[in-house]
Structure 1
Amino acid sequence: MKDLSSFFRPKSVALVGATEKSGWSAATYANLISNAFPGDVFLLNPKGAVVHGVQTFASFADVPGQVDLAYVMTPIDAVIPVMEAGARQGVRNYVVLTSGYGEVGAEGAAKERELVDFAAANDLIVLGPNGNGFINATDSITPYGLPIPKPLLAGSVGVVLQSGALASSVLSFAHARSIGLSFLTSMGNESIISVTDVVAHLVDDPQTKCIALFLESIRYPDEFIAVAQAARDAGKPIVALKIGRSAKASRTAQAHTGALVGDDRTVDAVFEQLGILRVASVEDLLTTASLLAEVGPLPGRRLGVVTPSGGASEIISDRAMDEGLDLVDFAEQTTAKLVEILPDFASANNPLDVTGYVLLDRTLLGRAMEVVVADPGVDVTMLLSELPRAVPPDMDGAVEMWRANAARIEQASTPVVAVSTCLTDINEVGREIRERSGFPLVLGGIEHAMTAIGNAVRYPELVRTAGEPPIPPLAQLNAIDAERTGVWGEQRSAEQLRRAGVPVVPAELVDSADEAVRAADAVGYPVVLKIAGDEIAHKSDIGGVRLALADADAVRTAYDEMLAAVQVAGVKSRTVLVQPMRPLGTELLVGVVRDPVWGLTLAIALGGVWVELMDDSVLRVLPVSAASIRGALEKLRGIDALKGARGAQPVDLDALVEVIGRVVALAQALGEELESLEINPLRVSGGEIEALDALITWR
């Protein structure tokens, strides 16, 4: 990945193609000047005309000084000539606003390839093409092609977007809610600088405390994983809005596992494993990111709430349930202190409604918050507090009240999150009161604030699991002599599982009814017969399975009937597996399939026919830790079946995690030829864990 520290901190900027006819040109120049860019701004126009009231230069050679960054706004056929002229003058960094490249089709893609090849040959760095530029709010560097709301609010949230128009909406929302940004960029086509390059830059940026991403695609998965891990290690949360929820077709027609692995579900798994918080809206993206940047991750789920509204208390109660937050009962000493300061008609409950008495006693809300914050059972306090939109009759008195509450928040032993009831703009009055009083960030609206609080509580749990050591590939895997192609049926697949230490049901191959009876007598009745053959993926679909055969006559009859049934389906094999019939237990599917983007992906689901009927599955991308496997099991909707629901014997989850870990280790050791490895079902009952069927598909 690229070092972009100088790219995003130029000491001089040249606007190439500056003209009065272009709104892009006017906006970019105005952004640099009005936001007090500390360096030189040069305007280039081949005619050397006066543009935006400034004398332009006809070429880079005419510029009286070094150009650190060229912002290119020319027609597409002039872009490479501009870069050639710049390169001759030592200009290395370019933002290319021009569109008409890969986003428009094959002809544009060819032009984009030319741009990339030229940049590579001349060691040039390009943001774009087809991008708006960037805003380095920390250093007042704003080569950005659309209007920036004023004033530019510098803060601690770095924003990276794979969208141009959406970037302006993000800026408007951040300004409306007084959310300070350290950095924002619109990526354009990512021809040279990619999302992962910019995230790596923000990980190293001391002013950025949280990174917010809007993603349409993840182009470089390995780099993405690396920068996400670096952000986690640096203590910088990543919040992501990833669009595209449609699942692709099955990865492999041979195994159920392939049907469980789709784009969006795999991204969910990747984000969870990397400690990335995924959100569903632009509002949640910025609200969550600003909370994490300003307050930081929250230490626990026990929430204390102080509000002046009974209705708001009910809304908060419902949303707390949605987010898994606990509205704990206040301790006795807390209740006693609240009773002393509340009006007689108020109740000292959580959420705490201090009532409209705040209109008579403006200190009541702050004093009540001070009591709740000190409660030993409260991890986080939510304060419902509306910044004024109209000038108060006593502005100085209002500022003093807000300053007193700001001091209480600053001195609190546990975090306090201020929230407005609705998602309304903070206007000039509210901004002035915040600036004069030092009052912290106020999250916009109960709905999005509760999502943000829930995310900030979950974040420490995510990163704790994400930091666990992964299960390594199986170290001692004997060489596989057979050719790794096609599909391996149950017998050969089960042998690989046994070698990896996975418990597998005993089985004997037979070629006649007499041999089937002898094998059944040996293993003990009842038994199971299964048609054997590598070309057979789903035996039950063609009548190739017979269960609970109680004696020799039943075995003979089942053998003949099964062969007749599979012959109708075109299967000529007469080879049959004989296995002991196991008692009922909970059945799981445990499979590993190769995702085309993310590689080997583990799927855990309720097994047997329930895979299709209930779609209760959880994914993890390899490598994966034992703790992550345990977390995946806990996320199954059917987890109660494993824990002993309705008097059933609970499964030994530790032993189950160990077995699934062996499956993972085997899949990683089988090499790049592996397409999928599946156990369906894996029978679990108490401490008994056993694979009853298996399938391996090679690429």
Structure 2
Amino acid sequence: MDRLFRPRSIALVGASDRSIWSVSAFDNLKRAGFTGRVVPVNPKGGVIHGVEAATSIGAIGEPIDAALLMVPEAVMHDTLHDLKAAGVGGAVILSAGFAETGEEGVQRQAALSATAREAGIRILGPNCLGFANMADGAPIWTTPLRRPMPNPTLAVVSQSGALASQMEQFAYQQRIALTHMISTGNEADVTIADAIEYLAHRSEARAIALFLETVRNPAAFARAVEAANAAGKAVVVLKVGTSEAAAAAAQAHTGSLVGDDRVFDALCRRLGVVRVKSLEELVVTADIIGRIGKVERPGLAMMAMSGGLCEIAVDQAEVDDLPLPALAPETLAALREALPSYATPNNPLDTTGAAMTQPNLIAEAMRIVSNDPAIGLVSFVFDAPAKADARGFAARFIDAVGQGIAKAATPGLMFSHTFSPVSGEGRGMADAAGVAYSGGGLRHALTAISHLFRWSEAQPQALDLNRASGVRPQIGDGERGVLDYLASHGVPVIPGAVATSADEAVETARGFGGPAVLKIASPDIPHKTEVGGVALRLSGDEAVAQAYADIRARVEAAKPEARIDGVIVSPMRSGGVELFVGTLKDPQWGPAIAVGLGGVFVEALKDTSLRLLPITEADALEMMDELRGKALLDGFRGAAAVDRAAAARAIVAIGDAALALGSDLVSLEVNPLLADGERIEALDGLVIWEDNDEHA
């Protein structure tokens, strides 16, 4: 990988003065100050890009670390054999015509990969624009690049070369210096995971901005992120599309409720990956996290010379769930002493126009608020100018912010009021003052800070993709069999029994000492109400016996082919809050669990929270707290508050029971899990297996 990404000698195979790709690649090497040897290769020889060209790789006469292949697909295999003979370590393949073209292209790409493996050559691509190692001044990139900037901290990895190019241009506009930019293309060999893991071991990159379309090797991706975490580097991802889950996940009710993309969200949470929603958010967030690093506590102190901006910040912080803590009494007292009498100490803090004539107030206020026990990051809003003004006013303000950051007990950041380009001179002024500066504006900066806080608090967990056992245990048929299985794994379930006659139903109902519920017991009928298979609030022997007969008659008429084991008799439950708990199996990331409010809420609102299995009780508590309807759990309008700890224990037990059902499980659903004060009970259960969409 080092010979590919840190080459000391490079061959441009298929070089031509008439090729924009070749010209750009050669110019990029000159612009980056590449000090190694660059050899154009063309069968016709001659002078190309002002350099004597070799007629073949072998004709160069010395080992070459990396090659850029700009030759047609038809001669690619012969070219790779030539590279092997010449001892080339890695190759960037610009050429298209492989997996992106369909099944025949997939076969051509597989053959290409096999040839490269046999030759011992690492390949990037095909169908990619290359990479740019800015840290070492060694780009093999085929569209025009800007000159490398000093003090790089951010690496960009993208499955789309065009978007990587756009991110490089945007980063330059913001004067965000890149360490590396890697476009992986079709990933015949080097994958997105390989690129992340490589960068995890490079000291220059302090954060990795990732544009992702799909993950071709889930286990390798998880390992790569874990390597980045171990190195203290944030992985910030913009992912499009879904996890490409197969139809099996959608067969389960849970799958249709949460969607495949929610599984990737759960994966990011599990691995400590920051997920964003736009290219701007991707670059700004990764830049701020990379330069600030982890903070000790999630609390922002923000200062500006505008009360109106402070009010906007409060609204934006609420949207982003960004903590803007109230300052402690001793902090407020210190601010009153330091600031003019007409200033109102608060968070956010309006330093007032007094800071215009006394910039030292900025430094002192930053020092004071940074010592507040609730604050983990202190920030000041000020626009670095495009050019220094003649009287040096801007420099004085930026120097004051730098002094405040130097004296602060926490990390500090300066960001612009609005999304603004950053000039080289403006960035230079901030760097000289020791100020981490972002031109992302209030909106993107606050969003980035909220991501920073969550990333700092995250406790990534390793992901075992084989965490479901491969053995399917025996469980009884139908709803009661599922409930009995859940009970054996510590899930509280409603009492009940299967009656095969009206007399048995009456006898069982008597034992509950109150109203009863009757439900058809059939492995062929997962949705009982649709066939008239449920009767509620039955009191007295006559009502139970009649309900038994009516249910059998209705179901046998509606589903004459269905196997009927009898009728389940259980005590009637009312009140409380109905929860939905369901698991699904994503073909890439494995088993996951969803929790939501049951009944009409889960269907109409899809108000669910998702995690990859296994989960802890702390995870289950977080999931309940993420529900939009969580107020219903806390004694809404006089109802008893749900014992969330007891509910969390039941949710964890359901997840563990699902894992124990083995790798053939598609979904285990409990709907509803009734939560009524301290009483938590599974009232209904459903299992779906992979083979023939079999229901239990």
Could you state the TM-score of these two structures normalised by the residue count of structure 1?
0.92
**Aligned pair partner of 2:494 in 505, 516, 531:** 505
In structure 2, do the counterparts of structure 1 residues 562 and 628 end up closer, same or farther at CA, with 3 Å as the change threshold?
Answer: same
- The alpha carbon displacement at 1:499 in A equals 2.1
**Aligned pair partner of 1:618 in 585, 601, 609:** 609
- The alpha carbon displacement at 1:446 in A equals 0.6
**Aligned pair partner of 1:442 in 435, 438, 455:** 438
Using the alignment, how far apart are the partners of 1:481 and 1:449 within structure 2? Answer: 53
Using the alignment, how far apart are the partners of 2:489 and 2:467 within structure 1? Answer: 10
| Structure 2 counterpart of 1:351, one-letter code | P
The Cα offsets for residues 402-426 of structure 1, whole Å up to 9 and x where unpaired, read as: 3453243133111211111111111
Q: 2:533 aligns to what?
A: 544
Using the alignment, how far apart are the partners of 1:597 and 1:452 within structure 2? Answer: 29
Q: 1:54 aligns to what?
A: 51
Q: 2:176 aligns to what?
A: 179
- The alpha carbon displacement at 1:657 in A equals 2.1
Using the alignment, how far apart are the partners of 1:270 and 1:9 within structure 2? Answer: 32
Aligned pairs for 1:265-414 within 5 A: 265-340=262-337, 342-343=339-340, 345-395=342-392, 399=395, 402-414=398-410
Using the alignment, how far apart are the partners of 2:373 and 2:619 within structure 1? Answer: 31
- The alpha carbon displacement at 1:349 in A equals 3.3
Aligned pairs for 1:66-215 within 5 A: 66-215=63-212
Q: 2:474 aligns to what?
A: 480
Contact map agreement 1:158 1:181 (CA 8 A) in 2: yes
In structure 2, do the counterparts of structure 1 residues 381 and 248 end up closer, same or farther at CA, with 3 Å as the change threshold?
Answer: same
| Structure 2 counterpart of 1:292, one-letter code | I
Q: 1:6 aligns to what?
A: 3
The Cα offsets for residues 171-224 of structure 1, whole Å up to 9 and x where unpaired, read as: 111111121222111111111111111111122222222121111112222222
> Which one is further off, 97-106 or 398-407?
398-407
Q: 1:17 aligns to what?
A: 14
Q: 1:681 aligns to what?
A: 672
Using the alignment, how far apart are the partners of 2:521 and 2:254 within structure 1? Answer: 21
> Which one is further off, 84-93 or 153-162?
153-162
Contact map agreement 1:420 1:445 (CA 8 A) in 2: yes
What is the aligned-residue identity percentage? 38
Contact map agreement 1:288 1:453 (CA 8 A) in 2: yes
- The alpha carbon displacement at 1:393 in A equals 0.6
The Cα offsets for residues 538-577 of structure 1, whole Å up to 9 and x where unpaired, read as: 1112110101100111112212222222133224537211
In structure 2, do the counterparts of structure 1 residues 60 and 250 end up closer, same or farther at CA, with 3 Å as the change threshold?
Answer: closer
Using the alignment, how far apart are the partners of 2:473 and 2:596 within structure 1? Answer: 30
Contact map agreement 1:473 1:669 (CA 8 A) in 2: no
Contact map agreement 1:473 1:667 (CA 8 A) in 2: no
Using the alignment, how far apart are the partners of 1:131 and 1:474 within structure 2? Answer: 37
- The alpha carbon displacement at 1:375 in A equals 3.8
| Structure 2 counterpart of 1:494, one-letter code | L
> Which one is further off, 13-22 or 602-611?
602-611
In structure 2, do the counterparts of structure 1 residues 218 and 108 end up closer, same or farther at CA, with 3 Å as the change threshold?
Answer: same
Using the alignment, how far apart are the partners of 2:675 and 2:484 within structure 1? Answer: 20
> Which one is further off, 85-94 or 623-632?
623-632
SS at match of 1:7: helix
Aligned pairs for 1:444-463 within 5 A: 444-461=440-457, 463=458
SS at match of 2:137: coil
Using the alignment, how far apart are the partners of 1:440 and 1:672 within structure 2? Answer: 49
Q: 1:557 aligns to what?
A: 546
| Structure 2 counterpart of 1:188, one-letter code | G
> Which one is further off, 272-281 or 510-519?
510-519
> Which one is further off, 17-26 or 503-512?
503-512
The Cα offsets for residues 673-697 of structure 1, whole Å up to 9 and x where unpaired, read as: 2222111111122222221111112
Using the alignment, how far apart are the partners of 2:383 and 2:440 within structure 1? Answer: 10
- The alpha carbon displacement at 1:597 in A equals 2.2
> Which one is further off, 582-591 or 346-355?
346-355
| Structure 2 counterpart of 1:240, one-letter code | V
Using the alignment, how far apart are the partners of 1:511 and 1:254 within structure 2? Answer: 31
The Cα offsets for residues 622-657 of structure 1, whole Å up to 9 and x where unpaired, read as: 233332222212212232322333333233322222
| Structure 2 counterpart of 1:231, one-letter code | A
Contact map agreement 1:473 1:666 (CA 8 A) in 2: no
- The alpha carbon displacement at 1:452 in A equals 0.5
- The alpha carbon displacement at 1:241 in A equals 0.6
| Structure 2 counterpart of 1:497, one-letter code | L
| Structure 2 counterpart of 1:549, one-letter code | L
- The alpha carbon displacement at 1:336 in A equals 4.7
Contact map agreement 1:301 1:324 (CA 8 A) in 2: no
**Aligned pair partner of 1:691 in 667, 682, 693:** 682
| Structure 2 counterpart of 1:130, one-letter code | N
**Aligned pair partner of 1:244 in 238, 241, 246:** 241
In structure 2, do the counterparts of structure 1 residues 544 and 288 end up closer, same or farther at CA, with 3 Å as the change threshold?
Answer: same
In structure 2, do the counterparts of structure 1 residues 585 and 328 end up closer, same or farther at CA, with 3 Å as the change threshold?
Answer: closer
SS at match of 2:140: coil
Q: 1:45 aligns to what?
A: 42
Q: 2:520 aligns to what?
A: 531
Could you state the TM-score of these two structures normalised by the residue count of structure 2?
0.93
> Which one is further off, 258-267 or 623-632?
623-632
RMSD of aligned residue pairs (Cα, Å): 2.7
In structure 2, do the counterparts of structure 1 residues 351 and 503 end up closer, same or farther at CA, with 3 Å as the change threshold?
Answer: closer
In structure 2, do the counterparts of structure 1 residues 612 and 481 end up closer, same or farther at CA, with 3 Å as the change threshold?
Answer: closer
- The alpha carbon displacement at 1:309 in A equals 2.1
Using the alignment, how far apart are the partners of 1:469 and 1:250 within structure 2? Answer: 23
| Structure 1 counterpart of 2:495, one-letter code | P
- The alpha carbon displacement at 1:249 in A equals 8.7
In structure 2, do the counterparts of structure 1 residues 143 and 583 end up closer, same or farther at CA, with 3 Å as the change threshold?
Answer: same
Q: Which runs of 5+ in 1 are unaligned?
A: 483-487
SS at match of 2:4: coil
Using the alignment, how far apart are the partners of 1:473 and 1:52 within structure 2? Answer: 55
**Aligned pair partner of 2:229 in 232, 235, 244:** 232
Verify: 1:596 aligned to 2:590, yes or no.
Answer: no
Q: Which runs of 5+ in 2 are unaligned?
A: 691-696
In structure 2, do the counterparts of structure 1 residues 356 and 23 end up closer, same or farther at CA, with 3 Å as the change threshold?
Answer: farther
Contact map agreement 2:581 2:593 (CA 8 A) in 1: yes
Contact map agreement 1:178 1:441 (CA 8 A) in 2: no
